[in-house]
Amino acid sequence: MIVVRGCEFPQDRFYHADYNVWVWRGDHGLVTLGATSYGAALAVEFFAFTPKPVGTRLEAGRAVGVLELSKTVVSVRTPVAGTVAEVNALAVAQPAIISTDPYGAGWLVRLSTTAHDEVFRHLLSGEALAPAFEAEMALENFIRPGCP
């Protein structure tokens, strides 16, 4: 586990610092996508998650859905192209789970993808993770002592 300013980042995933999302590679070309603990801390509270429907084809950089926060709505973007294969019904029904368990029950969508290893090399992992998120947190003046 990597911890940056109190926010945890499991090492078994890939991250996109600008989108504040994580991607976990599963079996059979499926990837799971969710919000980072840092993204959840910035949001403070999620009021709704409206995902794209199952079967929607997405290019990298496109929105997999929207999250409604207290005073704004934000798009959740995917760093990996694919087709929405599954939506987390729990995150839709109980969006607070995205904050309380962002790397577990609070995942957002699963995508069916043919993304190759080269795509994942453009995402953050390992030693590159901490400096990138530290820089993002510095830009936001994030001084919160911990993340959800």
pLDDT of residue 44: 79
Read off the pTM.
0.92
Going from the N-terminus, what domains does the chain have, and what CATH number goes with each? 2-139 (2.40.50.100)
| Number of CB atoms found within 10 A of residue 1's CB | 8
**pLDDT of 147 higher than 80:** no
DSSP label at residue 128:
G
Are the C-beta atoms of residues 60 and 79 closer than 8 Å to each other? Answer: yes
pLDDT digits (tens, 9 = 90+) for 30-84: 999 999 999 988 887 899 999 999 999 999 999 999 999 988 899 999 999 999 9
Q: How far apart are CA 120 and CA 14, in angstroms?
A: 7
**pLDDT of 148 higher than 70:** no
**pLDDT of 21 higher than 90:** yes
**Residue from 122, 105, 117, 112 nearest 55 by CA:** 112
Q: Any idea which residue has 């997405």 for tokens?
A: 58
